[in-house]
C-alpha cells in the first residue's frame, strides 16, 4: 500500500511539474507571438502611410506627429494611434486607425488617410482574415480595388453612392464576396463623417513621438453624431 501511495505521489508531482512547464511554454509563446504580431502590424502601418502619402508631399516625420484616438464609430475597442501629415507646420492630412467590424470572417484593420479638405488621401488594409481568393482582393497586392477610394469625399459620391453596387451604390463588389467590400465602404464613409464633424478638435490635438512606445496621456475620444450625419 505504501509503495502504491508513493508511486501515486510521484506521478502527481511529475504531472504538476509537467503542467507548470507546459503552461510556462504556452505563455512564453503567446507573449513572443503577440510581440511579433504587433511589430508586423506596426511595420505594415508605416508602409501603408508612406504608400498613401509619399514623403515628398509632406515635410514632417509622421511617427513623430502621432495622437491617440478612441472611437467606437471607427470600430476601435481600445485607443490606437493616428497620425498627422504636415507641410510647413500646417496639417495637410490625418491618418485614422479603423476597424471594419462587419468583415466576413472578422474585423478588418485599416489605415485611412483624409486630407484636410475632406478628400480621401487613400485607404490601406493592414490586417484581415478574409477568404483567400475572394475577400482578400482588398489587399493592394491582390487587386487595385482599394485605390478606388482615392480622391473621393462625402460629396463625391453623394451619401447614396457610398455602398457597393449590389446595394445601389457605386463601389464594385467581388465575385462571390460582397460582405467584405461592403464592410470597408461603410468604414471609410464613417471615417469621413467623423472627420467632418470633428475636424477642429482633430487638427488641434497634441501629438507625440510614436517611436517612444509610451502609454497614452491624452486620448481624443470621438463618436459619430448620427443625427448630424443624416442631415
Q: What is the per-residue pLDDT across 158-217, written as a single tens digit (0 to 9) for each?
A: 999 999 999 999 999 998 889 999 999 999 999 999 999 999 999 999 899 887 777 777
In this prediction, residue 32 carries a pLDDT of 56
Question: What is the C-alpha separation between 187 and 107, in angstroms, rounded?
Answer: 11
DSSP state of 142: T
Q: What cell was used for 195?
A: 472627420
Nearest CA to 87 out of 124, 109, 116, 67 is that of 116
Say what the pLDDT of residue 216 is. 78
Q: Answer yes or no: are the C-beta atoms of 160 and 83 closer than 8 Å.
A: no
Which residue stretches of 53-178 are H helix?
none
Cell of 223: 463618436
Number of other CB atoms surrounding residue 59 within 10 Å: 13
pLDDT of residue 194: 98
Strand segments, DSSP code E, in the chain are 66-70, 80-87, 90-100, 108-115, 120-127, 219-221
> For 182-197, what is each residue's pLDDT tens digit?
999 999 999 999 999 9
Is 126 within 8 Å of 41 (Cβ atoms)? Answer: yes
CB count, 10 Å around CB of 44? Answer: 16
When pLDDT is averaged across residues 147-151 and rounded to a whole number, the result is 97
What integer is the mean pLDDT of 147-160? 96
- pLDDT per residue over 73-84, tens digit each? 999 999 999 999
Q: Whose CA is closest to 97, among 72, 116, 115?
A: 72
- Please state, in angstroms and rounded to a whole number, the distance separating the CA atoms of residues 111 and 93: 12
- Output the pTM of the full model: 0.81
Amino acid at each position: 500500500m505504501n509503495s502504491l501511495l508513493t508511486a501515486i505521489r510521484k506521478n502527481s508531482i511529475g504531472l504538476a511539474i509537467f503542467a507548470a512547464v507546459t503552461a510556462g511554454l504556452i505563455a512564453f509563446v503567446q507573449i513572443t507571438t503577440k510581440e511579433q504580431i504587433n511589430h508586423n502590424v506596426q511595420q505594415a502601418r508605416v508602409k501603408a502611410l508612406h504608400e498613401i502619402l509619399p514623403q515628398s508631399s509632406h515635410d514632417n516625420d509622421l511617427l513623430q506627429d502621432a495622437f491617440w484616438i478612441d472611437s467606437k464609430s471607427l470600430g476601435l475597442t481600445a485607443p490606437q494611434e493616428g497620425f498627422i501629415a504636415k507641410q510647413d507646420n500646417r496639417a495637410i492630412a490625418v491618418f485614422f486607425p479603423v476597424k471594419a467590424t462587419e468583415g466576413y470572417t472578422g474585423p478588418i484593420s485599416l489605415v485611412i488617410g483624409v486630407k484636410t479638405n475632406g478628400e480621401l488621401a487613400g485607404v490601406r488594409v493592414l490586417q484581415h482574415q478574409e477568404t483567400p481568393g475572394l475577400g482578400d482582393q482588398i489587399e493592394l497586392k491582390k487587386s487595385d480595388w482599394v485605390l478606388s477610394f482615392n480622391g473621393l469625399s462625402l460629396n463625391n459620391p453623394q451619401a447614396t453612392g457610398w455602398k457597393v453596387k449590389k446595394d445601389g451604390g457605386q463601389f464594385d463588389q467581388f465575385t462571390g464576396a460582397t460582405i467584405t467590400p461592403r464592410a470597408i465602404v461603410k468604414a471609410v464613409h464613417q471615417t469621413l463623417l467623423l472627420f467632418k464633424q470633428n475636424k477642429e478638435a482633430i487638427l488641434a490635438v497634441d501629438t507625440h513621438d510614436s517611436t517612444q512606445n509610451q502609454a497614452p496621456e491624452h486620448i481624443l475620444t470621438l463618436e459619430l453624431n448620427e443625427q448630424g450625419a443624416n442631415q
